[in-house]
Structure 1
Amino acid sequence: MEQLKMQVPTGAWDYLPIECAAKRKVEDKIRNSFLKSGYSEIETPSFEYYEVFMHDSVPYVQENMMKFFDQKGRILALRPDLTGPIARAAATKLLARQDILRLCYIQNAFGFFNRGIAGKTEFTQAGVELIGKKGADADAEVIALAIGTLRQIGLEGFKIELGQVAYFKGLIEGSGLDEEQTERIRSLVDAKNNVELEYELSRLNIENTKKKALLELGGLFGGREALAQAETLAKSEECRAAVENIREVYDILCDFGYEEYLSIDFGILNNFNYYSGIIFRGISDGIGMPILSGGRYDDLLREFGTDAPATGFAMGVKELLIVLECQGKLAAQREKSIVVRAGKKLLRQAFSYVQELRAQGKRVILELNGSTYDPALFEIRDFAEGEMK
């Protein structure tokens, strides 16, 4: 027990000075990208009433959340992500004054999660929410912002995979599957586990054309050719509308010059109940998990009393740092602090000189007691009246 005070809890990290400087630099680039695209920063509390996260439109598992009580015995929870709290704030405070909101954030979230970096319990998310706007142009806007932001921080070799949950919903419509069976099929398609998927489908009493389509769903990925394959595979109106939605978004992003970053994958089905349309995730070499994820979630704000469409994404800052380091893009560029050494007889003049340097944007330490500093890490200046040595 005594040794615990020497450690951090599992899933949390210390960012030491050089690491923290690198993290802040990446965060500053992300924030700058968001703000220059017309998004306004918002900050919500680290904890909310438990009810904010307990409804069908949000994919939170109760056991994964960190919960506690207020003085009146009401249950509070540390936020497991930022979308729910921002939806609450938008619905209750912002949408009455403005129909379309472009909001961004860089804040920490908390929980006991196996997704992403294994065992993480506190993590920084950066993301945007475009609220009040429907259509492919809105979806393309946030995806383009995700691509532009990844480029801005110097990331290379990444892809944004585009999917559409409405396509899967159209495939299983009228199949007679209950909620548990649907979830089992969804998870196997998302994992591209065709061996178990074929076995599960063989046990279900659904028509052969639907079985064939569900088996082929995990293989519907690639470029524009995947759209034609998807149209051939399923003929329902909902499936056709889903394909057309991805085509529109894909075409807009190609017009932006982002085709090299895009891949289509109809087998992406994570958070099936949460998302209502297009869904996407960012992948990159050097890390075995998505670096960002997002999509359209038109039902969430209804939980807070306002019916408004929404789309957005969140990126994991720790995941981005790992990839940047693997790509050699996280070299520490720590500016040396200037150490001005002065005797107490020259204190007034030395302090004035230090203030001038600080006004110029320099990092300056005024040293009065003769402590030593490593010249490899600090620039040493001895202050003498009328001159600097």
Structure 2
Amino acid sequence: MAYRLPNGKFKTTKVTTFASYTANQKAEVDLITARNITFIKGHLRMNYTTDAANAPTAIEDGVAKLVRNLQLQYNGGAGVPIQVLSLQQLVLYSKHLLNERIRNDQPSENVGETGDAYVDFIISPSLNPKDPQDPRYCIPGEAPTINTMKITFQWGNEANVWDGGANAQINSAELIIDEEAGWTFGPDITAMKNGLGVDPEGNVFMPLWLTRSEQWTGAYAGLGLAISFPTDVIVRKIFLVAKDNNGNRSDSVVSELAVRTSDNDDLFGVVDWLEAQRVSAWRLDMDPIKGCLLIDCVEDIRDPAYASKLAGLEVKKADKLYVRFSTQAAGSCDVLFDCVRKVKVFE
């Protein structure tokens, strides 16, 4: 849909900014400054050569696992509104937001091959990638207190892509930002504040992605395993990636789950993992992705004590909420809480 913000202009810029691969080193990509970012699109390209005689063994999502600890930060890390454990987590989340319509190449297991592998990703602060003009919950790069924005991360190496890093090598790789979109208001501070919904104290609702990673060593019955929620946030979506003891995505590790308060009130569930996954995929008009489940707090949380009029699950500072699991075997779960929180960006 079209948005009309007085004195505001929506700009989409096709860019090609990138960071080149150096094994095990930190890297960064500068973003456009003085823009209130609503949408970013990028991809990872990896050029590789496999051994002429011995086939490598691919690690699941190994191309995406080449990048770890990706963050969108501003002012040299003073603010970190977006963060993920790995590019794998971001790629799988992107597939759900875009109904699975992106590339997610797996590492080659062919002998004597040189080629390119790709994964695509998006960062959509407003949670509306099909409508990038939506001005809600942007990264307010035009605010006077924000002077730099960049994406930072750490490269891995061949051992993140192929088992033991054997029988293949990475010739080159690049993390590339292809597109940045957002609103600009120029010198009109009043128009910017009105457009971004700034309150009288100079606060704006900004995206805040928070992650958890939990490992366990055996079966837990009766929802006996718990991952705590962040507090003082509105949680919009919860994205879960369940893995077996070998780190591969699995639908056989978690059997059931619920979102539960410390008083044992269930805000979501108790639901069977596979059934919850099936319903989520049906809503998104896509096939279920192994090991992945997206809980939409706007759709799924109806308790009036927690459902926020701003859309999502409101968790106050004193609240104690948990994602609780029953498990059938040893494994782990990577969790992304896609939240919003008030942040002071105007003096």
TM above 0.5:
no
Which one scores higher on RCO, CA 8 angstroms, separation ≥ 6? 2
TM-score (norm 2): 0.23
TM-score (norm 1): 0.21
The structure with the greater share of residues assigned to helix is: 1
The structure with the greater share of residues assigned to strand is: 2
Higher Cα Rg: structure 1 or 2? 1
